[in-house]
Amino acid sequence: MEITKDIYKILGNGNVYVILKPEFIVIDTSDAVDSLNIKTEIEKIVPVGEVKKVLLTHLHFDHAGNVNLFPNAEVYASEVAIENYNSSPKDFFFNDISAKSDEILRNAKALPDEISGMKVLKVPGHTRGSVAFLDEERKLLFSGDTIFDKEIVGRTDLPNSIPDEMAKSVEDLKKLVDGGYKLCPGHDY
């Protein structure tokens, strides 16, 4: 479904966003159980082999489970998320992960403060390394699992959560939504 010119949302166990400009980018990849559906839906918009970057809000299985679908993409996550994944991958993938996806996540690139015209916002809470992406030009906020709407927030009872930091992260993102940014959450709850 098109959410604005050049940006599409694909529904899965986790939402996937496809951005066409300034380059072909995917934000989050959903769960591996959705791989056929996710690939089919993305291919209606752009060939998966032409995706240049995959940006991950965090590394839980329902957001990073299909990183292996993008053979020519650079995969990015927060430095904290990558470090946490490398030390304890079972905290992120409760089921099996393919060897290829595991290798990609272990070697992901650390997100800079800005990437492809979007600001990278650190929003610890749901995970230690959770981030959101702020597209100021299009007035879009890709929130991952920090907030789903103004009233629903992400879980903080998982092995890599930081409950004490969630309230501030949620408050920061709510201010942006209240200020006119359209919320593009990790799930449609």
Segment-wise mean pLDDT, segments of 10 residues, the chain, 189 residues = 95 96 97 95 97 97 96 98 94 82 96 98 97 98 92 91 97 96 94
Q: Which two tokens stand for residue 104?
A: 């990609």
| pTM metric for this prediction | 0.97
Sign of CA dihedral 146, 28, 131, 93: positive
CB contact at 8 A, 165 and 124: yes
Domains and CATH numbers, the chain: 2-185 (3.60.15.10)
In terms of DSSP bridges, do strands 182-185 and 140-144 run parallel, antiparallel, or are they unpaired?
A: parallel
Q: Which two tokens stand for residue 70?
A: 């993008």
d(CA 52, CA 129): 22
Q: At a CB cut-off of 8 Å and minimum separation 6, what does 168 contact? A: 125
pLDDT of the residue at 94: 66
d(CA 46, CA 108): 22
135 beta partners? 140
